[in-house]
Chains A and B, each alone.
Chain A
Amino acid sequence: MMRQLVSISVVATVLMFPTVSAQVAAATPEMDKLIAAAKKEGQVEVILSGQVPRKLRAAMPAFQKKYGVKINFQTGSGRKHAERILAERRAGRFTVDVWLGGANTALVQLLPNKALASFPELLIDPEVKDPKLWFKGKHHYTDPEHRYIFTWGASPAYNISYNTKMVKPEEIKSYHDLLNPKWKGKIVSWSPGAQGTAASSVPMFINPKIGEKWFRRWANEMKPVIVTDARQAAEWVAIGRFPIGLFGTSTQAEILAGQNFPIAGWLPHPMAEGEVLSASAANLMAMDRAPNPNARNLFINWALSKEGQSLFIKIGEKTDSLRRDVDNKVIAQQYRIDPEGEYYVPFSDPTYINKQSEIITKLRTIMKEAGYK
């Protein structure tokens, strides 16, 4: 039965996108020229920062094998890479071609310092260039000018983890259920104003059904216990010290669930306030004045191709591709984007893009005013 479903979906995909198949088969002269130029450069320097990009180390050899262009990659904190790269650039050294990572560092550090190249012009491969092949029929950029930070993946955001022996999922159908006095002092959380939780907390702040008022009530009335380590929070939920974990605890909760702890990292139903798609660190950026511009462009076109995206979501495990022709059955159901689903898409919302830093500052202020420094 399962096999049949898979076969039907594959056939349906091919039927839905006949032009895609034809385009994949046809290599364009422009692409051939690019491949030749990239081979001449011989290498590409890539930054992989953030949880999912770090995992994508395993995808890099596929590019190297296909084009014979060596990939040199660096993992680690995006903030540290940004500081180093900006200092290098000020001194006239340009060492990085491509950046895969979170949008916030890019918006706050890379973009204002003109370290990123305009992206649309770099898309050469017809199967990448065509916006119809992408979610909502367009390319998604998480920057005000819609041309620097290309968002290639996303998945439904899960902000709540819970101890399955202490909480029934139906007890939490809305974020306002978390303001029920019975949960007072029983929620452990990362601070919503921390950088690592912005992808979860900022959309909630923007959502008029949740908003600033909810955060103020939650921080002041519910007296959550704030920690700075997601693993510590999730472990406390898993062993029953706290029934509920919030903001940034879901990933760890799922790992614990896999180790047989009574914890879940996601609720089996959507929240009453609506579902959110979170891109997290699934962004691709081209560095301006790249040392290997052709290899950079080739890598970008490969990474966004059906082949590249299929590999990315398979290895990334928890992020779906925004390409609609990629078979997302390789990832678990709860991480797949439902093409018919109703989502708030923050990375397409100018408020999210333009006011992210301002909202994070506001969230920090709310927490400080509630006594959390």
Chain B
Amino acid sequence: MTTVQSAVAPPGKVRLPGTGMFVMAVLILFFGFYIIYPIVLIFIQSFNAEGVIVGEYRFSFVNWVKAFEEPGTLESLGNTIVVFFAYTAVAFPLAVLISWILARTPIRFSRGLEFMFWVSFMLPALTTTIGWTLLLDPYFGFINVMAKNVLFLDGPLFDIYSVEGIVFAHLMGNAISQKVMLLTPAFRNMNVTLEEAGRVSGAGRLRTMMRITLPVMVPPMVVVFMLNTVRMFNSFEIEQILGTPIKFYVYSTRIFSLVREVEPPGYGEATALASLTLIIILIFIPLQRWLLTRRQYTTISGDYKPGLIHLGPLQPFAFILVVFVVALLTVVPVLTLLGGSFMTRAGFFQATPTYTLDHWRTVLADPIFFRALSTTFIIAISTAIISPVMFSMVAYVLVRRNWPGRLALDSIFWVSAGIPGMLSGLGLLWVILDTPGLNWLFGTTWILIIVAILQGKLTSIQMFKSTFLQMGQDMEEAARTAGAGWLYTYFRIWLPLIAPTMILLGTLNFVLAAGATSSVILLASRDTVTLSLLALEYMTTNVGAAREVAGIISLFIVAMTAGLALVARWFGFQVGVKDRGV
């Protein structure tokens, strides 16, 4: 079997049947157990007529029928799709352009500006949205009030409580920053000789970008687009705040409502609704394989030459564009978060007293805070270190090895996106509690670390896959000829080349781990409460200035993440390939 596969394998694939079978079996079993088994349990329970929490198991389709016969389901699905494509249509090309400017042109403060997109990604979407409502509320929003007074308008200049407002809030949230974050390192992996060849052949800057740069950047762009699409149903906060008052409902709000607002929770119906994502995934898996295997995407090979392209007179405009977008993405939420933490009521200057230190006192006097800080740091730093190493190796196996079971392993990661964290967290709780030999994990920091690591699996593996696709075979072949095994090759050849992606995904997973709520809420005990869970608790208690207090906790998370990101980037510069403008 292995011999046959090896015979048809493309040149450059290393034949190690025994090891390969063993490694793949271990990987499939491990990830299948932690990722697929909880989802299977949740699916089985969705066919339980008695409800997940109450009663004995009784097979029925009642949850599925109820979920889809609810009036307004199709409308909310349509709304979700409209909003998603509206903000993606703006965010995607803009993010590609900004990533290209940051990575491929000699823009000033390139590293600092790129880092600001990371900071924007670290800021909670809720804070960003609230910040913008303070500016764009049609009644009291600062910008609208100013516009009324200065431009003598009858109505608001821009009403954030509208479909356009929801799209805008997504853009100001993570829609742009996350794409820039993920795409910039990929653009840095571009061999300048390819673009130079285009220019020498007489192509202009735009033509070179359209005909040379973008086509070879297909793998990361496809991956980023797909990652966003499968998470289309995961976003609900923005729609809930801005959409509910105008009766604009989206699909994810219904899933959220069934899990968080109905008593007992409608897990069965929520699973049925969320499973729609699986259809998208079933389309995506073969589509992605076709797109990524139909041609060669190598941009880094033995003759790799990093370099930048000057935009001539357009260079200052490119700088202004990037600075403008960075300012939009970061200034408002940072001011809301930081300034609001010193205000009695964030954004309301009428409050008496206007300024206070009480919220900081509340946080610092909370006996759980410092414990949560330490737990969060342990979980997030473990995730930041382990996840890039683990997932880069898995991606390496998926892209570079010809071992059997790669499609199955890859599918495990894609399928995991079919169920939101608030459902899979419950499945994992059942797995941990019901599996002999594993239930000791319950209530420990270990299980939170496992969950936090697994949380970033899909993005990490797909981004690493696209990075490996950009790397040529020649370097690996040289190492192999010199007698190096695959592990040695991985550490000596690949690791320095993928260092920027590792730093990026380490930081990304740190952010996800530090901010995790729904995936860990059922698994944390009183001794392992994290900062994000503490912030969530303040947000959801209808007491005092809980939002400002939650904001301060978020500030600690952002500060911790930004600190780590800075250290990680510095470390990346030391170990990575030099002069690539990392």
Contacts and interface: CB of A to CB of B under 8 A. Distances in A.
Interface of A: 51, 54-55, 72-77, 79-80, 82-84, 86-88, 90-91, 93, 104-105, 108-109, 112-113, 188, 194-196, 225-232, 235-236, 239, 241, 248, 251-252, 255-256, 259-261, 357, 360, 368, 371-373
Nearest to B352: A260
B139 interface: yes
Contacts of A248: 542
A79 B352 CA distance: 36
Interface in B497-546: 521-522, 525-526, 533, 537, 540-545
A241 B54 contact: no
14 contacts: A74-B525, A76-B533, A77-B521, A77-B540, A79-B260, A86-B53, A91-B434, A91-B439, A104-B263, A113-B53, A195-B263, A226-B245, A251-B543, A373-B72
Interface string B61-89: 00000000001100010000000000000
Contacts, number: 119
Contacts of A360: 263
Contact of A109 (B54, B254, B260, B525): B54
A108 B260 contact: no
Contact of A371 (B247, B265, B351): B247
A113 B244 contact: no
A82 B53 contact: yes
Contacts of A90: 433-434
Given A87-B430, A112-B55, A373-B72, A196 B542 contact: yes
Contact of A259 (B262, B352, B543): B352
The listed residue with most B CB atoms (<10 A of its CB), out of A55, A87, A104, A196, is: A87
B569 interface: no
A51 B541 contact: yes
Contacts of B245: 188, 225-227
Contacts of B264: 108-109
A243 B526 CA distance: 42
Given A87-B430, A112-B54, A231 B261 contact: no
Q: Find the residue from B140, B265, B526 having the highest chain A CB count within 10 A.
A: B526
A190 to B, nearest CB: 10
Contacts of B348: 235, 239, 259, 261
Contacts of A226: 244-245, 247
Interface in B311-370: 344-345, 348, 350-352
Nearest to B433: A91
Given A109-B53, A235-B345, A260-B352, 7 more contacts: A76-B537, A87-B426, A91-B433, A228-B241, A255-B545, A256-B345, A261-B348
A373 B247 CA distance: 7
Contacts of A252: 542
A251 to B, nearest CB: 5
Contacts of B495: none
Main secondary structure of the interface of B (DSSP, over half): loop
A368 B562 CA distance: 44
Contact of A239 (B139, B429, B544): B139
Contacts of B262: 195
A301 B254 CA distance: 42
Given A55-B543, A228-B240, A261-B350, A79 B54 contact: no
Contacts of B457: none
Contacts of B71: 368
Nearest to A249: B542
Contacts of B55: 112
Nearest to A240: B139
A311 B251 CA distance: 45
B433 A87 contact: yes
Contacts of B72: 368, 373
Contacts of A83: 53, 265, 426, 429, 522
A229 B241 contact: yes
Nearest to B345: A259
Contacts of B430: 87
Contacts of B170: none
B233 interface: no
Interface in B218-266: 240-241, 244-245, 247, 249, 253-254, 260-265
A360 B262 CA distance: 10
B547 interface: yes
A51 B542 contact: yes
A55 to B, nearest CB: 7
Closest 4 CB pairs of A and B: A260-B352, A91-B433, A259-B351, A74-B526
A145 B545 CA distance: 39
Contacts of A86: 53
A80 B522 contact: yes
A243 to B, nearest CB: 13
A79 B350 CA distance: 36
Nearest to B250: A373
Contacts of A75: 537
A80 B350 contact: no
A259 B263 contact: no
Contact of B263 (A79, A80, A91, A256): A79
Contacts of B253: 373
Contacts of A54: 537, 541, 543
A91 to B, nearest CB: 4
A113 B54 contact: yes
A11 B261 CA distance: 47
Nearest to B130: A232
A241 B139 contact: yes
A16 B253 CA distance: 55
B356 to A, nearest CB: 10
Interface string B121-161: 00000000000000000011000000000000000000000
A33 B244 CA distance: 56
A73 B348 CA distance: 35
Interface string B401-441: 00000000000000000000000001001100110000100
A108 B54 contact: yes
